[in-house]
């Protein structure tokens, strides 16, 4: 394939993904067909199958790319301000990043009306687990522990479970109508205070510890982003 053909192939794929996301958010997974996507993207149905072997493969790549975009945003924040790796700041930012994007909100809230068959039933692992985010959370907490950013008087597995529960509950409550409770910013503040009080050490960490943790987390986030985007469709 020539460089021009490769560029056209990538451009076509990006257009198909953009259309797929628009239809997914507007109609929901169950209603969207490959024919719908092909017609809206102005390509042949067979062209889509040159990129992805199935409808599910196409949409799973869309979900992986959305998570990768979230990781990109976190990497940028850490590069601009290393203190963003402080757990209460990082999880606050994560909450606002996810709730501020409709597709990310659907992923982490596991909104079945949008995700359809992509959203696991109660007997299956959550999308966060399928996408590797729970394992990533555990690795992140280990970095926090290694650099003195969180307490170590409880097992790592217990901390990971507690953080996952706090985040899951926060994402769930964020879907309530705005008149029913605090704003998203206020919810993010509540989440940050909860994480700080429950997990962080009373003495503020030294700057050298923050910078070392920032470097490790930036590398970890970038590796996960690469892994997500590199998985076959």
- 63: how many CB neighbours lie within 10 A of its CB? 21
Domains of the chain: 1-51 (1.10.10.60), 64-230 (1.10.357)
Q: What is the pLDDT of residues 8-18, one digit of tens each?
A: 778 899 999 99
Ranges 6-10, 191-195, 223-227, most confident: 191-195
Q: What is the pLDDT of residue 121?
A: 60
Write down the pTM of the prediction: 0.84
Q: What whole-number distance in Å separates Cα of residue 129 and Cα of residue 207?
A: 33
In 3D, which of 54, 158, 173, 203 has the Cα closest to residue 105?
A: 173
> Residue 134: its pLDDT value, please?
77
pLDDT tens-digit series, residues 28-79: 999 999 999 999 999 999 999 999 999 999 999 999 999 899 999 999 999 9
Q: For 182-211, what is the mean pLDDT?
A: 95
């Amino acid at each position: 394939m020539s460089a021009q053909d490769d560029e056209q192939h990538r451009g076509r794929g990006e257009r198909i993904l953009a259309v797929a996301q628009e239809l997914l958010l507007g109609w929901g997974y169950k209603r969207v067909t490959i024919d719908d996507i092909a017609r809206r993207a102005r390509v042949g149905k067979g062209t889509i199958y040159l990129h992805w072997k199935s409808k599910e493969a196409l949409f799973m790549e869309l979900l992986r790319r959305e998570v990768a975009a979230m990781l990109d945003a976190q990497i940028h924040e850490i590069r601009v301000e290393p203190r963003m790796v402080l757990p209460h700041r990082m999880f606050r930012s994560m909450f606002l990043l996810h709730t501020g994007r409709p597709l990310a909100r659907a992923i982490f809230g596991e909104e079945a009306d949008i995700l359809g068959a992509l959203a696991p039933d109660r007997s299956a692992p959550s999308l966060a687990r399928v996408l590797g985010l729970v394992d990533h959370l555990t690795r992140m907490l280990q970095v926090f522990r290694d650099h003195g950013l969180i307490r170590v008087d409880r097992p790592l597995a217990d901390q990971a479970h507690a953080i996952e529960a706090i985040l899951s509950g926060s994402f769930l409550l964020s879907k309530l109508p705005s008149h029913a409770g605090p704003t998203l910013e206020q919810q993010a503040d509540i989440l940050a205070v909860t994480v700080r009080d429950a997990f962080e050490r009373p003495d503020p960490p030294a700057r050298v510890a923050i910078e070392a943790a920032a470097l490790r987390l930036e590398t970890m986030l970038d590796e996960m982003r690469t892994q997500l985007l590199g998985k076959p469709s």
